[in-house]
Structure formats: C-alpha cells, structure tokens
Amino acid sequence: MAREGKMFACGPLAQQLSKVRALKRKMFGFGSQINAIQTKQTTSLVTVKCGESVQSATKSIKSYNKLMGKVNMPKKVKELDQAEILMDMSEEYLNSYLHSACDPDDEIVNEKIKEILSEADVSESSQWPSIPDVNFSKFSSFSRHVSNEVK
C-alpha cells in the first residue's frame, strides 16, 4: 500500500502490527513464566516424594535396628560364619563318603550287600515281589492319550 501512495491506510496498519508484536512478546513471556512455574511445581513434587521415600526408609531401618540390636550383631555374624564353616565341612565329608560308597568298582560294598541279602535269606533277584500290572487307561484321559501314542 505504501508503494501505491496510500499513506493514510499504512499508519493504522503499522500501529496494529506493532501492537500485535508487543502482545506476541508478552504472550511468549507469559508462556515462559508458566513453564518455569510448572517446572518448579514438578521439582517440588519430586522433592516431596523423595522425602517421603527417605522417611519410609528411615522407619524401616529403625525397626530393623530394634530387631537386630547393635550389641548382638557381631555375635550373630560370628555364629553365622561358624555355621557356614561347619556346613562346608559336613558337605565335603558327605560328598567324599557318597563318592566312596557309590563307587561301582568297590568290591567291599558289593560283598556287604550280598552278605546282608544272604542273612535275610533273600536272593538278589528271585524273591523280590513282582509289581502288579495295572491298566491306567480307565483312570484318566491323559493316560489314554499317552498309551495311544506309545502304541
């Protein structure tokens, strides 16, 4: 419009443009202030939650301290260490005993088994009772399914 020589219309339009720009700057400033307030509120809420969790942890630790007792703690730790040592020793002993007892090449064990069986007047295979043959198919649908797959 200014190029066309219509200066009378340019004046009010320029004033409106400057007002719009000023309002835009104000709105941007308000938006920034609102974002800052929101960030402060979020930070405050997070701080409150953190404080609540610390308070809860403090209560838990206090109750734990009451249960454990500061005086008895070293004694309990020592007892636990001794029990752990005994468990390790007994486990090693048991493992070595089981290994020696279950060794298939050990003829002494086999002789002892035969001696015990002969004292009871039982041969190794002939006098053991037989297991009854039971048809499980009438008891469950799963066993019928399994027996059909086996056949």
What does the alpha-carbon distance between residue 95 and residue 76 come to, in Å, rounded to a whole number? 28
Residue 8 pLDDT more than 60? yes
What does the alpha-carbon distance between residue 122 and residue 29 come to, in Å, rounded to a whole number? 102
Structure tokens at 11: 């004046």
Residue 13 binned pLDDT confidence (cut-offs 50, 70, 90): confident
The mean pLDDT value for 117-145 works out to 57
| Residues whose CB is less than 8 angstroms from the CB of residue 26 and which lie 6 or more positions away in sequence, other chains included | none
Residue 129 pLDDT more than 70? no
Can you list the positions of beta strands (E) in 57-122? none
Question: pLDDT (tens digit, 9 = 90+) per residue, 15-58?
Answer: 899 999 999 999 988 989 999 999 999 999 999 999 999 999 99
DSSP, res 138: G
Contact (Cβ atoms closer than 8 angstroms) between residue 146 and residue 136: no
* Coarse DSSP helix, strand, coil percentages of the chain, rounded to the nearest 5 percent: 75, 0, 25
Task: Identify the pLDDT of residue 2.
Answer: 57
H-assigned helices in 69-124: 73-101, 107-119
Residue 128 binned pLDDT confidence (cut-offs 50, 70, 90): low
What does the alpha-carbon distance between residue 12 and residue 2 come to, in Å, rounded to a whole number? 12
Of 94 and 10, which is predicted with more confidence? 10
Structure tokens at 127: 């006098």
What does the alpha-carbon distance between residue 88 and residue 80 come to, in Å, rounded to a whole number? 12
Residue tagged 């002892």 (tokens): 112
Residue 70 pLDDT more than 80? no
- Does the pTM surpass 0.75? The reply is no
Residue 144 binned pLDDT confidence (cut-offs 50, 70, 90): low
